[in-house]
Amino acid sequence: MRTSDLPASISLWRKIVNKLMTILVIVAVILAVIPLLLILGDVVIRGAPALSLGFLIHSLPTSTKGLSGGIGPAIVGSFTMVGIAALISVPIGVGAGIFFSEWASSRLSTISGFMNDVLTGFPSIVIGLFVFVIIVLPTKQSSAFAGGVALSFVMLPIIARTTGESLKLVPMTLREASMALGIPRWKTVIRIVISTGKRGLLTGILLAVARATGETAPILLTASTSIYFAKSIFQPTASLTVFIYNYGTSGSASWQTEAWGAALVLILIMLGLNLLVKLTIGRNPIGARMEL
């Protein structure tokens, strides 16, 4: 093939196809982003009127039109239940993740890893129903505790998987370097492996927290609802998501506005958590792959 055989420029047809494909993918991206923008816009517009300091802190009726409430109890309730869930799921999840990583070749690891991944995608209402049956029915009591337990089932598989994958990324040569210094295996795992992979662990925990904060069904069935600040974790407790459900489906227009206000607050909390995740990802690619 001689130089004179090469076309002088790309044919017109190829140019048209190039341009067309470029336009098509740009349109696809815009279409993909539109729903998010519409929802965000809607929430901001409808929810902003409800926002005020009193709305955020108080629980007592804020209008004379009958019982309506600030979302103070809901915010505290959500944080409490996610907190209880974290207390349960973080130690167990990190421990399971360590097993997935350090005993990766064992059969138990493969089997339990598969079961873990199944639990990740489990319908959360089924989890809620399960906890309802094992905790709420016997105690005849809806509670933040039950809600926390239900949310821990949601968080646990996420933390276990992200911990496992993050620790697997720590190069084998670092473990060998530590063991070659005469450091026993357990110390190597805790002081070297976890320390090197801690960014990934943090990312996974934050992702799990973000997921749990947005859950409705599990806590609807276990913590029920309340308009007051809970005095203990063993009584019905308010939460942002259930608040949105109750007040949003009510007949009253002012209650619906408050539901939008709660939705706005929830979205802002989620955005904040996701920003934190982006900050902790930093040089760690695992978080980016595990975003749910």
Question: Can you give the binding site for other proteins, defined by CB under 8 A?
Answer: 105, 171, 173-184, 187, 191-192, 195-196
Q: How far is the CB of 181 from other proteins (least distance, A)?
A: 4
Q: How far is the CB of 162 from other proteins (least distance, A)?
A: 19
Helix axes 144-168, 72-102, angle to 10 degrees: 40
**Which residue's CB is nearer to other proteins, number 121 or number 182?**
182
Q: How far is the CB of 60 from other proteins (least distance, A)?
A: 50
**Which residue's CB is nearer to other proteins, number 102 or number 165?**
102
**Which residue's CB is nearer to other proteins, number 82 or number 170?**
170
Q: Write out 83-149 in H/E/C secondary structure.
A: HHHHHHHHHHHHHHHHHHHHCCCCHHHHHHHHHHHHHHCCCHHHHHHHHHHHHHHHHCCCCHHHHHH
**Which residue's CB is nearer to other proteins, number 125 or number 179?**
179
Q: Say how many CA atoms lie within 13 Å of 265 toward its Cβ.
A: 27
Q: How far is the CB of 86 from other proteins (least distance, A)?
A: 24
Contact yes or no for 236/147 (Cβ under 8 A): no
Report residue 24 as tokens.
């098509």
Q: How far is the CB of 179 from other proteins (least distance, A)?
A: 6
Q: Which amino acid would we find at residue 221?
A: L
**Which residue's CB is nearer to other proteins, number 104 or number 134?**
104
